Each structure stands twice: as structure tokens, then as C-alpha cells.
């Protein structure tokens, strides 16, 4: 770890790898959540599988949490290192002319996303951990004593988006996520040396990913708010 912290190239490379991992998870998370628009049964089945599969729960989930923490900690370290390394302030070299607004404000969009992760954990992850591992209910059923009651995941998802204030917070968070991804996606590929004949295609794909995935989550939140 000390080698990563002391090498600028290693820090950026590690940051890029954690970004790729989190972007893959985000895509997988969206793929499951979007099914809630089309089929409550499919969403319930997928959610129950992810929520009870031992590999997901005891291997992938801890890796995911580590990845989130690592990415944000590394982001703060890079921001501090970059600020300390600047010998000429933006006011003198007109940094705004040499970099985009998104690249100069990654730390702020990152903090907004981190706050949203906290809200998302409060809404979904903490209650799920409490239900399964504290209360001991691994059935996933609305009524643990009634197999005919059906899975609770779709009902819980809709319940979270009843209040308009929560929907607004989610929409704002996904706007910040889009801004963060618009710079972060291409920056991650640059950090691993992906500057070649495919660069233009990667940039186009990055823009589509950065806009469409957050927009998709916004649609999901609005759909359940309007159809609860």
C-alpha cells in the first residue's frame, strides 16, 4: 500500500482499476434494478438470488465495499497530492482554460456521490443486513411465515420512492454521478495507457455510459414514485 501512496503513476493506476470495478458494478446494479419497471417477479427473483447467494454475500459484497472505500480514499489522496504539487495557482495560469469544469471539481462530485451512497445504504443495505443477519430472516418473503406472500423486494423498492423529497435527492445524486463519470470514465482509460486507435470510440462509449446509466436510474426512481 505504501508503494501505491508514494508513486504518482501507481496511485492513478490503482484509482483507474477501482473505477473500472465500480463502473462494472454500477452497470450490473442497473441491469437488475431496471427489471423492476417491466416485471416485479423478475426483479424479486434476481434480488433474492443476489441477496442470498453465498458468493455474492460473503465474497463479492466485501470486495465491493472495499472498492468503494478505496476509490474515495484514493481520490482524496490524489486531490491533496495534486494541490500540493502545483507551484503555480490556477489564478496565474488560468487553469480553467486548460481543463474542464468536471475535471476541476471531481472532488465535489465525489463527495456528493459519497453522501448519496450513505443515503442508499440507509435506505436499502442496512435494513437488509438487519433483516437477514440480525433478525435471521433469509426467506426474502413479505411474511416470513407465509410462503404465498411473495418476495418483499419490489414492495420495499416502491415504498422508498413514495416521498418526493427522496426522489429529488436521488435525481440530484445521479446528476452528480453523470458529471463525475463524464470525466472519470475517460480519465481511467488514460491512466492505464489506453491511448490508441480506439480512443475516439472509448470516449464516445464513455459519454454514452456517463449519461445513459444515471439517466436510467432517474427513470427507475420516477417510475416507482409515479406508480406506487
Which cell numbers hold the place of 184? 472519470
Cα separations in angstroms, 72 against 13, 118, 174, 176 = 14, 13, 17, 15
Among 155, 152, 151, CA closest to 227: 155
Question: What pLDDT band is residue 191 in, cutting at 50, 70 and 90?
Answer: confident
Residue-wise pLDDT tens digits, 20-42:
999 999 999 999 999 999 999 99
Helix (H) / strand (E) containing 103: helix 101-104
d(CA 70, CA 56): 19
Which cell numbers hold the place of 213? 446509466
Instruction: Report pTM.
Output: 0.87
What's the whole-number mean pLDDT along residues 166-179?
96
Neighbours of 188 (CB within 10 A): 23
Buried b / exposed e along 110-148 (16+ C-beta atoms within 10 A): bebbbebeeeeeebeeeebeebbeeeeeebbbeeeeeee
Residue 224 pLDDT > 70, yes or no?
yes
Is pLDDT larger for residue 51 or for residue 107? 51
Q: How much of the chain, in percent, has pLDDT values that exceed 90? A: 64
Which cell numbers hold the place of 174? 445521479
Neighbours of 88 (CB within 10 A): 8
Amino acid at each position: 500500500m505504501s508503494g501505491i501512496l508514494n508513486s504518482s503513476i501507481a496511485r492513478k493506476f490503482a484509482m483507474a482499476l477501482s473505477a473500472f470495478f465500480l463502473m462494472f458494478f454500477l452497470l450490473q446494479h442497473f441491469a437488475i434494478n431496471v427489471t423492476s419497471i417491466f416485471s416485479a417477479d423478475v426483479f424479486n427473483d434476481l434480488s433474492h438470488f443476489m441477496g442470498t447467494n453465498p458468493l455474492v454475500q460473503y465474497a463479492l459484497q466485501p470486495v465491493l465495499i472495499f472498492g468503494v472505500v478505496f476509490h474515495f480514499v484514493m481520490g482524496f489522496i490524489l486531490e491533496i497530492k495534486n494541490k500540493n504539487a502545483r507551484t503555480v495557482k490556477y489564478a496565474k495560469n488560468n487553469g480553467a482554460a486548460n481543463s474542464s469544469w468536471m475535471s476541476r471539481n471531481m472532488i465535489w462530485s465525489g463527495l456528493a456521490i459519497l453522501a448519496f451512497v450513505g443515503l442508499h445504504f440507509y435506505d436499502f443495505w442496512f435494513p437488509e443486513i438487519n433483516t437477514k443477519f440480525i433478525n435471521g430472516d433469509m426467506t426474502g418473503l413479505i411474511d416470513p411465515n407465509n410462503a404465498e406472500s411473495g418476495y418483499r423486494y419490489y414492495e420495499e423498492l416502491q415504498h422508498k420512492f413514495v416521498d418526493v423529497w427522496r426522489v429529488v435527492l436521488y435525481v440530484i445524486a445521479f446528476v452528480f454521478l453523470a458529471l463525475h463519470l463524464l470525466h472519470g470514465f475517460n480519465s481511467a482509460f488514460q491512466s492505464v495507457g489506453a491511448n490508441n486507435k480506439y480512443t475516439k470510440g472509448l470516449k464516445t462509449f464513455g459519454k454514452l455510459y456517463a449519461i445513459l446509466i444515471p439517466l436510467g436510474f432517474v427513470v427507475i426512481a420516477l417510475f416507482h414514485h409515479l406508480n406506487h
